[in-house]
A = this chain, B = another copy of it.
Amino acid sequence: MTVTIKDIAKQAGVSITTVSRIINNKAEGIRKETCEKVLKVVEELHYKPNSIARSMITKKTYTIGLVIPDIRNPFFPELVRGVEDVANAAQYTVFLCNTDSSHRKETDYLAIMKEKNVDGIIFTGPQELQSKDFYQSVQEYEIPIILLDRGQEIEDFSGVYIDNVQAGYMATKHLLELSHQNIGCITGPAAIPNSNERYKGYLKAFSEFQIPVDESIVIPGNYQMEGGYVAAKALLKERDVTAIFAFNDLMAFGVYQAAYELGIKIPEDLSVVGFDNLPFNQLIRPKLTTIEQSAYKMGEIAAKMLFDQINNEKSVKEQVFIEPTLIINGSTKEHA
């Protein structure tokens, strides 16, 4: 039998109200002796308040939902930790929900979060552009929600995103400044917003350097290592590129492999820039020059924004764009 506030009250010879006050630090007008007496009983019986019952009254669960595509995608563990650390510090617990970007799983989980009365939700949707209809049902739930990393086109939701245009710009500019001109570009799938944004940055840099863009060396990838490998093989065998900007690290590693097989040395013969700064960047040689997204920081900021919204009830929507960082490592070199 689990011990309740009633048991404590009886055992200590006081009312449950008194116990409640004491365990909730609202003991202002309570005698020290009573306080100690109750606390002693609490200790003895190992009493733990039932947060379920508490939530019934307070309408707060001190729980948030974190909905992401897949924790196995190496981008997410950092992000999740960022969220959790902030949540934990605020006495919150987090539900982890993997959706595989399946519309059904997303909808299901969102409904479950509603039923479980989470105080807020942090949501990372699929890469593909979402119809607003989808998010409308979420709005009906009246639960504070922060979008994370994906969905910036839905402007009536608060969200935290990477400034992908700026990121693409920085990466490309870095290569241009190293005197590269034939800079191959391996993008993400066509429909994916962040890929398109990065490409805008690529164009912007070329434009700034007043160099024409050769669209034949812009190849769509799939954000997988394999896609980077295939694209790189095409670029290196048929085209005359001295540098490649891959829109994520996984594809950049594919470029490494292709170069390796073709006997092309990085960075002597080919400069490579990636995107993500995945943890295993620490393990490859030469280390990849890449764009750091700071997933941890994104998670932190999203969580902070969420708690702001939860606590202040301010429904001011804001979209935060995080400045990426260019991490210069050994995979890029001045073009002779």
Binding site for B on A (CB under 8 A): 2, 46, 48-53, 55-56, 61, 63, 66, 70-72, 74, 76-78, 80-81, 84-85, 88, 93-98, 111-112, 114-117, 140, 142, 225, 253, 256-257, 260, 278-280, 282-285
Residues of B within 8 A of A78 (CB): 72
Complex formed: what's the CA distance from A56 to B57 in Å?
12
Q: Is the CB of A81 within 8 A of B77?
A: no
Nearest chain B CB to A158 CB, angstrom units: 21
29 contacts between A and B (CB under 8 A): A46-B140, A48-B114, A52-B52, A52-B55, A52-B61, A52-B116, A53-B56, A56-B56, A63-B116, A70-B81, A71-B80, A71-B81, A72-B81, A72-B279, A74-B74, A76-B77, A77-B77, A85-B98, A88-B98, A93-B95, A93-B97, A93-B116, A94-B95, A95-B95, A96-B96, A280-B280, A280-B283, A283-B283, A283-B284
Give the CA-CA distance A192 to B117 in the complex, in Å: 41
Bound CA–CA A180/B49 (angstroms)? 61
Q: Which of B49, B81, B96 contacts A94 (CB 8 A)?
A: B96
**B116/A51 in contact, CB under 8 A:** yes
Looking at the complex, which one of B72, B94, B111, B280 makes contact with A48 (CB distance below 8 Å)? Answer: B111
Cβ contacts under 8 Å, A95 to chain B: 63, 93-96
Given the known interface contacts A2-B142, A81-B72, A96-B80, the answer about A48 and B115 at a Cβ–Cβ threshold of 8 Å is yes
A84/B96 contact (C-beta < 8 A), A48-B114, A111-B48, A280-B280 known: yes
Chain B residue with minimal CB distance to A83? B96
Is there contact, CB below 8 Å, between A257 and B285?
A: yes
CB closest chain-B residue, reference A70: B81
CB within 8 Å for A77 and B72 given contacts A52-B52, A94-B96, A95-B93: yes
The answer for the CA separation of A142 and B3 in the assembled complex, in Å, is 12
Q: Which of A76, A117, A283 has the most CB of B within 10 A?
A: A283
Query: Given A71-B81, A93-B112, 4 other A-B contacts at CB below 8 A?
Result: A52-B55, A84-B98, A94-B95, A225-B282
Is A260 within 8 A of B283, CB to CB?
no
Closest 8 A-B residue pairs measured CB to CB?
A280-B280, A96-B96, A51-B115, A71-B77, A72-B77, A253-B283, A48-B115, A52-B55
User: Contacts A71-B81, A84-B96 given: A52-B56 contact, CB under 8 Å?
Assistant: yes
**B residues near A61, Cβ cutoff 8 Å:** 52
Residue of B nearest to A74 (CB): B279
- Min Cβ gap A22→B in Å is 16
- Say yes or no: A50 contacts B115, CB within 8 Å: yes
* A114 partner residues in chain B, CB cutoff 8 A: 48
Chain B residues contacting A260 (CB-CB under 8 Å) are 285
Residues of B contacting A81 in the complex (Cβ-Cβ under 8 angstroms)? 70-72, 98
Q: Which residues of B contact A88 (CB under 8 A)?
A: 98
Which residues of chain B are near A98, meaning CB under 8 Å? 81, 84-85, 88
